[in-house]
A = this chain, B = another copy of it.
């Protein structure tokens, strides 16, 4: 008997729909829930907290990491991934899951080298929890990180400290970026780095900021000999919003039949796709101007999720995939990491 990961992908009919949790799920084995809700994914998106409240009522055991990402633009479909860590027998190495929480970050530390360090240590702890020692075995690190509020900035200032910004929306980007650099540091993708230097990035970090925490919740997905079972994970990096060739290469490595779209017969094997998307800083895609950064009616993160979501959904044959916006230091400028969890060929 070894540890064995199970992943359930559940449709959500509304942000507070937890009806999918009944049947086939062992509440005691659940270690994390990662999901997409149908809000705007920006500052005033309450669908994330609404979902977490319903999930917490349904899964009241403490210590379960819950990361909800808002925004299901286009035909992206609200859903959640329920991650279990149980015991079983089967092939190894297999998908390994580890979680960790960091100490609380004081407001003045947000976006700083201190946050990078604290997250790097947290990622190492989550790797240890997963039994992964080689950073090369890690394929995806999902982090929920804090943001600044007016109250938090004031609290820091009352102690004679100053925060990096007073702009709540901007603080989300700074926190996501510092957290991603923390991942890059722990995974030895960089040796040191400054938030804002866009040449530095992690190929495996996915970070989301939330108002409901002061520390960091971390989920590491990797491959480990200490785990067994049908599930495996691999990853790719998109260099821009339509860089699908590396994603297709990843599908090749996972044994999916060639083609522009996964066929119906193979879809049960594709358990989950998780990706980050962003407009990038240049205002162009391969030399052609786009308008995501100048649209004052729709946030660029909404544009990016819908567009990249279309590119990726077309590859896998459906829209029940996790595409999250705001990819600071997560993949190169304009691009983002993609992780795929699949059943081994011949097992579904």
User: B74 to A303, Cβ gap below 8 A?
Assistant: yes
Determine whether A155 belongs to the interface, using a CB cutoff of 8 Å to chain B: no
A47 closest partner in B (C-beta):
B46
Residues in A4-62 with C-beta less than 8 Å from chain B: 11, 13-16, 38-40, 42-47, 49-50, 53-54
User: A307 to B296, Cβ gap below 8 A?
Assistant: no
A238 closest partner in B (C-beta):
B314
User: A242 to B261, Cβ gap below 8 A?
Assistant: yes
Q: A307: which B residues are within 8 A, CB to CB?
A: 73-76, 306-307, 309-310, 313
User: A288 to B74, Cβ gap below 8 A?
Assistant: no
User: B242 to A294, Cβ gap below 8 A?
Assistant: no
Q: Contacts A44-B295, A299-B296 given: A288-B11 contact, CB under 8 Å?
A: yes
Complex partner residue of A245 from B50, B72, B73, B260, CB under 8 angstroms: B260
Residues in A296-342 with C-beta less than 8 Å from chain B: 296-299, 302-304, 306-311, 313-315, 317-320
- Tell me the bound Cα distance from A303 to B302 in angstroms: 9
Q: A345: which B residues are within 8 A, CB to CB?
A: none
A40 closest partner in B (C-beta):
B296
A167 closest partner in B (C-beta):
B293
Complex partner residue of A244 from B261, B287, B290, CB under 8 angstroms: B261
- Tell me the bound Cα distance from A68 to B210 in angstroms: 25
Query: How often does this chain occur in the complex, in copies?
Result: 4
- Chain A residues with a Cβ closer than 8 Å to the other chain, count: 69
Q: A73: which B residues are within 8 A, CB to CB?
A: 298, 303, 306-307
Q: Contacts A290-B77, A306-B74 given: A296-B44 contact, CB under 8 Å?
A: yes
Identify 28 residue pairs between A and B in the complex whose beta-carbon atoms are under 8 Å apart, listed by A's number: A14-B46, A15-B50, A38-B46, A38-B295, A39-B46, A40-B297, A43-B296, A44-B294, A49-B50, A72-B291, A74-B241, A74-B310, A75-B279, A77-B285, A77-B288, A78-B291, A241-B313, A242-B261, A242-B319, A245-B260, A285-B313, A288-B318, A297-B297, A298-B298, A298-B302, A307-B313, A309-B310, A311-B313
Ranked 10 nearest A-B pairs via Cβ: A74-B307, A310-B310, A42-B296, A311-B314, A307-B310, A306-B306, A77-B288, A75-B290, A75-B285, A310-B311
Q: Which residues of A contact B (CB under 8 A)?
A: 11, 13-16, 38-40, 42-47, 49-50, 53-54, 72-79, 150, 168-169, 241-242, 244-245, 248, 259-261, 279, 283, 285-292, 294-299, 302-304, 306-311, 313-315, 317-320
